[in-house]
Amino acid sequence: MTSPSALSQLKTLTTVVADTGDFERMREFQPQDATTNPSLILKAAQQSNYQALVRSVKQAHPDIKPTALVDYILVAFGLEILQIVPGRVSTEVDARLSFDTNATIAKARHLIELYESHGIDRKRVLIKLAATWEGIAAAKELESQGIHCNVTLLFSLIQAAASGAANATLISPFVGRITDWYKAKLGSNWSDVNHGGANDPSVSSVRRIFHYYKHFGIKTEIMGASFRNTSQILELAGCDLLTISPELLAELQSSNAPIEKKLNAANAQAALQAEGIAPLKLDESSFRLQLNNDAMATEKLAEGIRNFCIDTEKLEALLQE
């Protein structure tokens, strides 16, 4: 009898989400949910098999400028994805609004209206917002209106704690980008033996957030994201959700290695005590200071917003053509 694939085993421990705008590749992995972002949609929109979809959106809205047309493209991909996954799709607000709470709220409402105009229940859509103070404030207001949010570009416990206090439906700690930062920082001193696996600083970061949420009874879901390898994924088996690229999903599908649950809520109190972690102060000035004092989180948040802005502008240019 053939052993179940690593992917099948992982699905018994964690909700598996597809991290791609390439909805044709999703079918083979049967994920519960799917996530997109401007970079993933740009990549998909440039592929020949999605040209017809892009053209149809442009033809349906001939008088709309590219900046506004991007929203229709994002939703068009989301609608296709929702025909494949039984759960939710995450659609991102324009990253250029990351420091404007009111504009973020308006954009989120617009995206939800577009989905609802196609008969999609808002419960099946997560609006992605950057984990800035302004983005988290927008998430709090949107959640109070029944618009569910995925707080993304999240690299630190303070961002996670503030998102939980805002009653965000879900957060996306970015695993691989944390590893990238520490690898660059350590340079030749980085060792996969000493700094990989369970000791990977990105794995430690998500584990800390998991323990904080579970110990303090925070209901917000945790979805590890932006993985660089399957080792990072397997070290977070037991996390609420994990969003994984098609390439890494394929790698897990082709493996029959046994998988064990690594994250357990029963360990939360002891883990926090061992690290000396108490409830964090979450007013605006405390949030900004704690984030500022975390060089990695500050730099990766800024970099992530910049890159999403660049790719949104590239998508606009593509639509202009």
Which of 58, 107, 123, 128 is catalytic? The answer is 128
Q: Is 128 a catalytic residue?
A: yes
Cα separations in angstroms, 36 against 71, 181, 209, 288:
13, 23, 23, 27
Residue 291, classed as helix, strand or coil, is helix
What's the chain's length in residues? 321
**Which token pair is 130?**
């950057």
- Reference 179, options 205, 209, 208; nearest CA is 205
Give yes or no for a contact between 129 and 182, defined as CB atoms under 8 angstroms apart: no
Provide DSSP, 90-140: EEEPPGGGTT-HHHHHHHHHHHHHHHHHTT--GGGEEEEEESSHHHHHHHH
Dihedral of CA 204/209/212/214: which sign? Answer: negative
CA distance 115 to 95: 20
Which of the residues are catalytic? Answer: 128
